Structure 1
Amino acid sequence: MFSNAYAQSVGERADAGLTDLKPLQIGDTIPEVLWNLPLQVVNHPDGKDTITMNDYRNRKLIILDFWATWCAPCIKSVKHIDSLISVLNARDVSLLPVNRYDNEKRMQTFMEKTGWTFPSVINNKPLDEILMASYRDYLGVVWILDGRLFAVPRNESITRENIKALLAGRHDEVTISNYPLRTN
């Protein structure tokens, strides 16, 4: 379940239908409540300040990359994934960075300075808790393929070849090194 450190109160989590959700495991279907969870964003190309994952549901592969402005490996990961998607001209893939540490002003400044043209979710710890809690205690990447948690891949698994194979439906050709499940 959720810890007391989350910004949402117990009542807000209950109203959003999140209190009964358990952290997801590889292969689990993304719950409907998670698809419809309001996500605050910065830098949206249409000027939106709130979206849902449902806005991306028509994509075969959704890549959530949990990052922070002070985390150099995280920034490198977001740039790497964005460039892979661009090179592949992959219309069936969406990258949605998720920042759970920085405030809106700091993120906006960072994104303007770096020239990032894609939106980023900000301060959505329940999303992180449900998708990442079983795998890591901090930042990472989540692949949602056809509405299911497909992978929580290590960086070496985030390759052009793997993304191309997934989009072509050749799952048997995908080599994924997932982060191990937490044991505590």
Structure 2
Amino acid sequence: MTILTSEVDTRSDAFKRNAEAMRAQVEDLRRRTEQVRLGGGAASRQRHVSRGKLLPRERVRALLDPGSPFLELSPLAAMDMYDNEAPGSGVITGIGRVSGVECAIVCNDATVKGGTYYPMTVKKHLRAQEVAMENRLPCIYMVDSGGANLPQWPEVFPDKTHFGRIFYNQANMSAQGIPQIAVVMGSCTAGGA
């Protein structure tokens, strides 16, 4: 077997500067990801729980096979957009195992502006559907949404990646025999339906 020897000098000043810069970037990524995982903030989370609801990430975890992984897609979508009022775009998307089957999961986060859809929420939802179509993964939608975010509605509907495309994709996947399952867990207004 050929042994590859590194020519990287781990004792050089340049290496140490780069390593420290990388550590700082990784720490920033961890901090931002953890911030997104909290959803809409403490008051919103408390209101959600006081209504007897599981928090969105608890819902996803309860859906998955015990001990199985969840590959989250686009957790930092909408970062530094919309005055930071839509962490994670207000929706959790990813791939997880349910009853032994890999599935695409889309879970509205009602702690973020009532689970309403911003333009980036639509794009994130559509990306999860695209992954599902390409890999023929059943889709499970955990719905708790007030539909389109009204101040953002002009940007939610205008082009190919608009809100209506979600339903178009659902119909096409269903026609292709890819299961489409919706679990209504709260509000199911307009497009949220």
Normalised by the shorter chain, which TM-score bucket?
under 0.3
Q: RCO greater where, 1 or 2, for CA within 8 Å and sep 6 or more?
A: 1
Between Structure 1 and Structure 2, the one with more helix by share is: 2
TM-score between the two structures when normalised by the length of structure 2: 0.26
TM-score between the two structures when normalised by the length of structure 1: 0.27
